[in-house]
Amino acid sequence: MSLFKQQTRYESEMTRFLKELKKKNPKIEEEQRQGRARLWDRPELDLDTLEREKASRIKQQPYVYQNKPK
């Protein structure tokens, strides 16, 4: 007899809610993947463009509002 018998029949309310939601809207997982791709999957960076952008930036002086205009 095992002391730690695992219950396989229990489902939390959240699990049941998510299963129902997926049954009502079967495209929800695909929409989530598309949203993730929009936010996180970036195209490969062009190193030449990055270098030009970095070189064209103007450095901001510290304490911007305390410096006297020249």
* Amino acid present at 7: Q
Mean pLDDT for 27-50 is: 89
Q: Which DSSP category does 27 fall into?
A: T
4/51: higher pLDDT: 51
Torsions phi, psi for 31 (to 5 deg): -65, -35
Q: What is the mean pLDDT of the chain?
A: 84
Question: Is the pLDDT reported for residue 3 higher than 70?
Answer: no
Residue whose tokens read 């489902």: 11
- Report d(CA 11, CA 20) in Å as an integer: 13
Q: Which DSSP category does 39 fall into?
A: H
